[in-house]
Amino acid sequence: MENTQVEQTVLLTKEDGVGVITLNRPHLFNAFNTQLNVDLLKAFKDVAKDPEVRAVVLTGAGKAFCSGQDLSDPAAIQVQGDSPSLGDSVRKRYNPLILAMTEMEKPIIAAVNGAAAGAGCSLALACDMRFVSDRAKFVEAFVRIGLAPDSGSSWFLPQLVGVGRAMELAMTGRDVGAEEAVQIGLANQLVPHDRLLEETLAFAKRLAQGPTRAIGLTKRAIYKAMDTDIAGALEYEAQVQEIAGKSKDFLEGIASFVEKRPPQYRGE
């Protein structure tokens, strides 16, 4: 792999069209501090604009995916007067990160290698798909310390598992193991721990060889449909199809079908 970022908290490598982003604070189970927030947002922006990257894998170093906010970080809780302002912290540190992920027109697959808790759980849910190790678990841990969900969990969780199940998980903060996560729709695929990154990368590489423009438009259309009615979804489909129909990948897809050969997409 070619190392393209040297910051300690986040590692970014590229392999066969896939950008691999690794949270790199293993001694603290990849908990968010200010620098990790900054570096992770930069990593997502870098892969979003890099034409060589056509799919993204997000994972964690060591035993955990991400344990959420590092509560020992002095900048974690901003103070206004005599009271903490957690809303400002969420707006400045997490909301831009989640929006950068959902607005990126490239697929993001989480390789969840261990615990994904609190904001770390939200981070995993904000990925487009989740491959999980048999050691993985998801924890909506906010309620355990008297907080409500943030970093997108209140939106992603009911979309993935339904309102009733989302209420249960968010209100109890209980652990959801890897097998249950797949069963209820939190995760796409369960993989033996020692093969997690290998199999997630293989899947991401297949997506990276696909029609990147169409995949990006698919992601855009699905998120749009989750926030509109059927008439709005139909109209948006027509709009993105207009864009897709002007891509070189579409021409290649048609040509390969007529010529009875595998398509050679370039992501254009």
Q: At what angle do helices 212-225 and 248-258 cross, to 10 degrees?
A: 110
Q: Half-sphere exposure of residue 23, counting CA atoms within 13 Å on the CB side?
A: 36
State the average pLDDT over residues 114-118. Answer: 98
Percent of residues, the chain, with pLDDT higher than 90? 84
Kindly state the average pLDDT of the residues 131-136: 98
Mean pLDDT, range 47-64, rounded to an integer:
97
Please report the pLDDT score of residue 168 as a whole number: 98
What 3-state DSSP class applies to 56? strand
Q: What's the CATH architecture for 212-258? A: Orthogonal Bundle (1.10)
Task: Render pLDDT for 63-99 as a digit per residue (tens, 0 to 9).
Answer: 999 999 998 877 666 655 566 788 888 999 999 999 9
pLDDT at residue 73, rounded to an integer = 79
Mean pLDDT of 115-142: 98
- Domain coordinates in residue numbering, the chain: 2-208, 212-258
pLDDT at 267: 83
pLDDT of res. 1:
52
What pLDDT, on a 0 to 100 scale, did the predictor assign at position 49?
Answer: 96
Q: Is residue 22 over pLDDT 50?
A: yes
Q: What is the DSSP letter of 28?
A: G
Q: Which of 35, 38, 58, 31 is nearest to 141 (CA)?
A: 31
Query: What mean pLDDT is predicted for residues 28-55?
Result: 96
Q: Which pLDDT band, with edges at 50, 70 and 90, does 6 fall under?
A: very low
Q: CATH homologous superfamily for 2-208?
A: 2-enoyl-CoA Hydratase; Chain A, domain 1 (3.90.226.10)
